[in-house]
Structure 1
Amino acid sequence: MKLNHLSFPSSDTAATAAFFERYLGFTIAGQWDQSYILKRPGYDVVIDHSSDETPAWPKNFHVGFELPSLEAVQSLYERFSAEGVQMETGVFNNGRGSRFFCRAPGGVMFEMNTRVDAAPEYRGTFDN
């Protein structure tokens, strides 16, 4: 079994889709009504128009992306900050690796992390 897709409701689907395309390496593959399908090797993301209000997400709900190095995390943090992405935290290491949290348009929270500097029990493998 493999992951097919993730679906996110958004009140601003165009801005949310553009975030995925610009910062996360997705390609916009299609659009219908006010919804989008985005592709990246291995899985798709669907951005569905919810309403004109930002969906209410549970406090800790987020999607995590793993980057290959601490330098990549720091560089992305600096880029997001400079380009006005809504930052939730600075870069920090809680023992499970360096990371930061931010929000995409539409309110979805993202964790951008690396495990190269994690404690041994939390280290994973980065697979390009």
Structure 2
Amino acid sequence: MKLNHVNLPVRDVETARDFFTKYFGLVTVQEVGKNFLAILQDDTGLVLNLSHFDKNSTAEVEYHKDFHIGFFVETREEVDRIYQLISADGIGDEAPERKEGRYGFYIAAPGGFVVEVACMEWPKMATPKE
């Protein structure tokens, strides 16, 4: 079994779509209606739906303070590259740092949720003695 998609409700589908395509390389596969649904896909096949199904609502979606989505990359250099791209546009405010077995940062995304970008730096496992 494999997770294949996530739906994130947002008030402004276009702005959220542009955020994910510009900074995280997701590709827009399909759009339905104006500010209704954008279907994005990453290079591993995961689908991210950005939706605004309640056309009568202009309120931001309220996510739990601990809710976030994460992008794991292979190296610190990749974390730093993405952070530089985001911060060059005046969005990033907390520089990457090492904590809790990873090197990365969090950023507030359009839509009211948080995105994590990190590379994992788990401690090396000791090799059992023979």
User: What's the TM-score, normalizing by structure 2?
Assistant: 0.82
Q: Distance in 2 between matches of 1:18 and 1:86?
A: 16
Q: Distance in 2 between matches of 1:71 and 1:57?
A: 30
Residue 91 of structure 1 corresponds to 96
| Structure 1 residue 100 corresponds to structure 2 residue 105 | yes
From the superposition, tell whether residues 29 and 102 of structure 1 become closer, same or farther in structure 2 (CA, over 3 Å): same
Q: Distance in 1 between matches of 2:102 and 2:67?
A: 19
Q: Distance in 1 between matches of 2:100 and 2:111?
A: 30
Residue 38 of structure 2 corresponds to 36
SS at 1:21 equivalent: helix
Instruction: Look up the equivalent residue of 1:18 and give its one-letter code.
Output: D
User: What's the TM-score, normalizing by structure 1?
Assistant: 0.84
Q: Distance in 1 between matches of 2:32 and 2:90?
A: 28
Give the gaps of 5 or more residues in structure 2: 126-130
Q: Do the aligned residues in 1 keep the contact of 2:23 with 2:85 (CA within 8 Å)?
A: no
Q: What is the 5 A alignment of 1:68-83?
A: 68-83=74-89
Instruction: Look up the equivalent residue of 2:14 and give its one-letter code.
Output: A
What is the aligned length?
Answer: 119
Residue 126 of structure 1 corresponds to none
Q: What is the aligned-residue RMSD (CA, Å)?
A: 1.6
* Mean Cα deviation higher: 63-72 or 33-42: 33-42
Give the gaps of 5 or more residues in structure 1: 122-128
Q: Distance in 1 between matches of 2:32 and 2:82?
A: 31
Q: Distance in 2 between matches of 1:118 and 1:71?
A: 17
Larger gyration radius, structure 1 or structure 2: 2
